[in-house]
């Protein structure tokens, strides 16, 4: 049984928990405002808001792609489709879309309205930059993004003076006409609805589902499912004795926006914007990115350079640790036994003065999988000579790689010759193959260029 509130209406359904929320909303609940297009998280036409009750009793809303969201995952949540915003009167976001001519055929418009409403609910700063980032998964074929951005800018201006304290956000947005009044009753109505995670040893672990629902949608319909979003004990980002510890259920967006990342790795806040899009990052997890074992997983490539370790918990609660670079046994093969899960990802806080950089090559800047990617973490002594160096590379072998044998570069200044030698070491280790993202030869070329790009990003004068 899945219990939720769909717009204003309580729902108790026995539908298959592996059914997508998109199918449930359109085909079973007959709410056709949510559009059905790519079904692969690529367009944003199916965007809805999912509000989940937090430990303090508040409800946190996130814009999500409903085509990649299993119904069982939203048990105990408030789901808002465009019908739940109401049509008379229009909400502030809807009105600004009209006033700025930000809709033509209208197919993308419900998704854009919900992404902007999600921005109004969730952005700490309510900045224009955040508003544009919130729209990075919403594709419009006919209006042109300038008018959509104008509407977003007008929204930020209209909300500029509201009290930004998270505890007052709902009432402020109701007063500003962004949300209908019934939202105020939702926190009380959701109380006590969250079910614990269930599932035996053979249950399929579903984290964000953004990979599973693209790769194995039928498996979700036929298997017992264990939804990790219900594991509140795995939802944390905390500093602990020089380590950053991230629970196995933390989403990429929550990690990106966490206080610890903002304090210690502000660069990651920008780099992780290159991972998929906001409506996917709001569900997709770091652990899911690691376990899906894609040779070009962006978060995985970053974590390899940062020296991440995984804590793996077995069915009996027994824990073991493994360095991330030892986790991959071959193409899509990991050191994870049946019944085990990645319960924590941890990595050392970088030493003072350490330099970090991430590079990704893809056809589009946003919402695209890499052809090749790489991250680098470098520490140098007071004389500027390199004392530690970790460099990862994706898309150039069967698994995400940590480049071996870089100790020979220790003791040298990170100048142009250093990065040339790094490129040579990377090319010696790489084993790319021809695939849909490019030929082996192209990827070798990219890999060499990525190493030189690290040099230009970290030491522009020396590496020129
Ligand atoms: C449109 C689109 C764009 C994308 N863009 C990018 C991109 O730019 N960069 C990128 O790297 N990826 C991208 N992806 C791939 C995918 O979204 C990411 O890899 C994502 O991080 C997967 O996380 P998830 O939580 O959704 O995983 P899920 O789909 O829930 O799970 C993936 C696998 O990991 C297992 N699993 C999940 N969590 C755990 C755990 N804690 N312990 C053990 N097993 C676990 C699941 O059982 C499953 O086998 C994209 C996907 C789509 C559909
Ligand atoms: S239908 Fe395209 S993102 Fe869901
Ligand atoms: S208005 Fe037609 S796709 Fe956006």
User: pLDDT tens digits for 297-318?
Assistant: 999 999 999 999 999 999 889 9
Residue 394 has what pLDDT? 96
Residue 315 has what pLDDT? 87
Is 235 a pocket residue for ligand 1 (Cβ < 6 Å)? no
The 10s digit of each residue's pLDDT in 162-182 is 998 888 999 999 999 999 999
Residue 363 has what pLDDT? 84
Nearest CA to ligand 1 atom 43: 341
Is 41 a pocket residue for ligand 1 (Cβ < 6 Å)? yes
Nearest CA to ligand 1 atom 32: 288
C-alpha angle 447-208-307 in degrees, rounded to nearest 5: 45
Report which ligand 1 atom has the smallest distance to the Cα of 207: 30
Percent pLDDT > 90 in the chain is: 86
Residue 267 has what pLDDT? 92
Q: Is 357 left (phi over 0), alpha (psi -120 to 50) or beta?
A: beta
CA 314 – CA 128 distance, rounded (Å): 44
Is residue 149 exposed (0-12), middle (13-18) or buried (19+ Cβ within 10 Å)?
middle
Is 143 a pocket residue for ligand 3 (Cβ < 6 Å)? yes
User: If you measure from the C-alpha of residue 310 to the centroid of ligand 1, how many angstroms do you get, rounded to a whole number?
Assistant: 16
Residue 288 has what pLDDT? 98
Residue 462 has what pLDDT? 60
Query: Is pLDDT above 60 for 372?
Result: yes
> CATH top-level class for 196-349?
alpha beta
User: If you measure from the C-alpha of residue 66 to the centroid of ligand 2, how many angstroms do you get, rounded to a whole number?
Assistant: 7
Is 137 a pocket residue for ligand 2 (Cβ < 6 Å)? no
Q: Which of 137-141, 193-197, 358-362, 436-440 has the lowest mean pLDDT?
A: 193-197
User: If you measure from the C-alpha of residue 285 to the centroid of ligand 1, how many angstroms do you get, rounded to a whole number?
Assistant: 6
**Average pLDDT over the chain, rounded to whole?**
94
User: If you measure from the C-alpha of residue 344 to the centroid of ligand 2, how many angstroms do you get, rounded to a whole number?
Assistant: 30
CATH numeric code, 1-189: 3.10.20.30
User: If you measure from the C-alpha of residue 256 to the centroid of ligand 1, how many angstroms do you get, rounded to a whole number?
Assistant: 16
Please enumerate in sequence order all residues whose Cβ is within 8 A of that of 68, keeping only pairs 6 or more positions apart, or say none: 20, 40, 41, 208, 209, 210, 213, 214, 280, 283
The 10s digit of each residue's pLDDT in 340-368 is 999 999 999 988 889 999 999 988 887 78
Q: Which of 238-247, 323-332, 417-426, 431-440 has the lowest mean pLDDT?
A: 431-440
User: If you measure from the C-alpha of residue 350 to the centroid of ligand 1, how many angstroms do you get, rounded to a whole number?
Assistant: 26
Residue 276 has what pLDDT? 94
The 10s digit of each residue's pLDDT in 126-159 is 999 999 999 999 999 999 899 999 999 999 999 9
For a ligand 3 pocket test, name from 107, 144, 147 the mutation site with the most ligand atoms within 8 angstroms of its C-beta. Answer: 107
Q: Which ligand is nearest to the CA of 108?
A: 3
For a ligand 3 pocket test, name from 35, 42, 43, 104 the mutation site with the most ligand atoms within 8 angstroms of its C-beta. Answer: 104
Report which ligand 1 atom has the smallest distance to the Cα of 206: 30
Arithmetic mean of pLDDT, 408-429: 96
User: If you measure from the C-alpha of residue 43 to the centroid of ligand 2, how many angstroms do you get, rounded to a whole number?
Assistant: 5
Residue 204 has what pLDDT? 93
Q: Which of 179-188, 197-206, 272-281, 325-334 has the lowest mean pLDDT?
A: 197-206
Is 106 a pocket residue for ligand 3 (Cβ < 6 Å)? yes
Query: Is pLDDT above 70 for 463?
Result: no
Report which ligand 1 atom has the smallest distance to the Cα of 298: 11
Given a contact cutoff of 8 angstroms between Cβ atoms, the answer to whether 328 and 293 are in contact is yes
Please, which pLDDT band fits residue 194 given cuts at 50, 70 and 90? low
Q: Which ligand is nearest to the CA of 110?
A: 3
> Any long-range contacts for 31-34 (C-beta under 8 Å, 24+ apart)?
31/6, 31/7, 31/81, 31/83, 33/81, 33/82, 33/83, 33/110, 34/66, 34/81, 34/82, 34/110, 34/111
User: If you measure from the C-alpha of residue 82 to the centroid of ligand 2, how many angstroms do you get, rounded to a whole number?
Assistant: 15
Report which ligand 2 atom has the smallest distance to the Cα of 46: 4
Arithmetic mean of pLDDT, 217-236: 93
CATH numeric code, 354-464: 3.30.390.50
Residue 74 has what pLDDT? 95
Is 301 a pocket residue for ligand 1 (Cβ < 6 Å)? no
Percent pLDDT > 70 in the chain is: 97
Is 275 a pocket residue for ligand 1 (Cβ < 6 Å)? yes
Please enumerate in sequence order all residues whose Cβ is within 8 A of that of 440, keeping only pairs 6 or more positions apart, or say none: 432, 433, 434
Query: Is pLDDT above 70 for 461?
Result: no
User: If you measure from the C-alpha of residue 137 to the centroid of ligand 2, how many angstroms do you get, rounded to a whole number?
Assistant: 9
Is residue 243 exposed (0-12), middle (13-18) or buried (19+ Cβ within 10 Å)?
middle
Q: Which ligand is nearest to the CA of 147?
A: 3
CA 415 – CA 426 distance, rounded (Å): 17
Q: Which two tokens stand for residue 336?
A: 């994870």
Q: Which ligand is nearest to the CA of 203?
A: 1
Report which ligand 1 atom has the smallest distance to the Cα of 301: 11
The 10s digit of each residue's pLDDT in 31-85 is 999 999 999 999 999 999 999 999 899 999 999 999 999 999 999 999 999 999 9
Residue 424 has what pLDDT? 96
User: If you measure from the C-alpha of residue 45 to the centroid of ligand 2, how many angstroms do you get, rounded to a whole number?
Assistant: 5
Listed by start position, the domains of the chain span: 1-189, 196-349, 354-464
First CA to last CA distance, the chain: 61
Residue 328 has what pLDDT? 97
The sign of the torsion formed by the CA atoms of 321, 324, 327, 333 equals positive
Residue 368 has what pLDDT? 82
């Amino acid at each position: 049984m899945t219990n939720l509130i769909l717009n204003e209406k309580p729902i108790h359904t026995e539908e298959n928990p592996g059914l997508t929320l998109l199918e449930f909303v359109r085909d079973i609940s007959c709410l056709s405002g949510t559009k059905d297009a790519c079904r692969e998280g690529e367009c944003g036409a199916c965007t809805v808001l999912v509000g989940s009750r937090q430990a303090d009793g508040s409800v946190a809303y996130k814009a999500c792609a409903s085509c990649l969201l299993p119904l069982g995952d939203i048990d105990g949540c408030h789901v808002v489709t465009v019908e739940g915003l109401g049509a008379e009167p229009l909400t502030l976001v809807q009105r600004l879309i009209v006033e700025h001519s930000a809709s033509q055929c209208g197919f993308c418009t419900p998704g854009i309205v919900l992404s902007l409403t999600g921005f109004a609910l969730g952005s700490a700063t309510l900045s224009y930059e955040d508003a544009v980032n919130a729209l990075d998964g919403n594709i419009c074929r006919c209006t042109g993004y300038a008018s959509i951005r104008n509407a977003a800018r007008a929204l930020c201006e209209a909300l500029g003076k509201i009290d930004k304290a998270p505890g007052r956000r709902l009432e402020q947005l109701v007063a500003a006409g962004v949300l209908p009044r019934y939202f105020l009753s939702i926190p009380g109505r959701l109380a006590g609805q969250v079910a614990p995670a269930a599932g035996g040893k053979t249950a399929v672990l579903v984290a964000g589902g953004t990979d599973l629902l693209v790769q194995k949608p039928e498996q979700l319909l036929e298997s017992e499912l264990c939804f990790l979003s219900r594991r509140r004990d795995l939802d944390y980002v905390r500093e602990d004795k020089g380590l950053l510890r991230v629970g196995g259920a933390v989403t990429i967006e929550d990690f990106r926006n966490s206080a610890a990342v903002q304090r210690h790795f502000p660069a990651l806040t920008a780099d992780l914007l290159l991972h998929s899009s906001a409506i996917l990052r709001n569900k997709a997890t770091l652990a899911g990115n690691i376990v899906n074992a894609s040779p070009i997983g962006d978060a995985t490539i970053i974590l390899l350079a940062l020296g991440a370790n995984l804590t793996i918990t077995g069915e009996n609660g027994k824990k073991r640790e493994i360095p991330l670079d030892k986790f991959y046994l071959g193409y899509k093969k990991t050191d994870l036994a049946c019944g085990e899960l990645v319960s924590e990802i941890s990595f050392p806080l970088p030493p003072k003065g350490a330099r970090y950089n991430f590079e990704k090559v893809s056809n589009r800047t946003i919402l695209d999988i890499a052809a090749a990617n790489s991250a680098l973490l470098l520490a140098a002594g007071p004389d500027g000579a390199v004392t530690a160096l970790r460099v990862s590379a994706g898309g150039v072998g069967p698994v995400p790689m940590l480049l071996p044998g870089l100790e020979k570069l220790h003791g040298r200044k990170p100048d142009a010759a250093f990065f040339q030698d790094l490129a040579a070491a990377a090319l010696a280790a790489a084993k790319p193959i021809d695939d849909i993202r490019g030929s082996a030869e192209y990827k070798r070329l990219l890999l060499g260029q990525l190493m030189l790009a690290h040099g230009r990003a970290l030491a522009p004068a020396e590496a020129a």
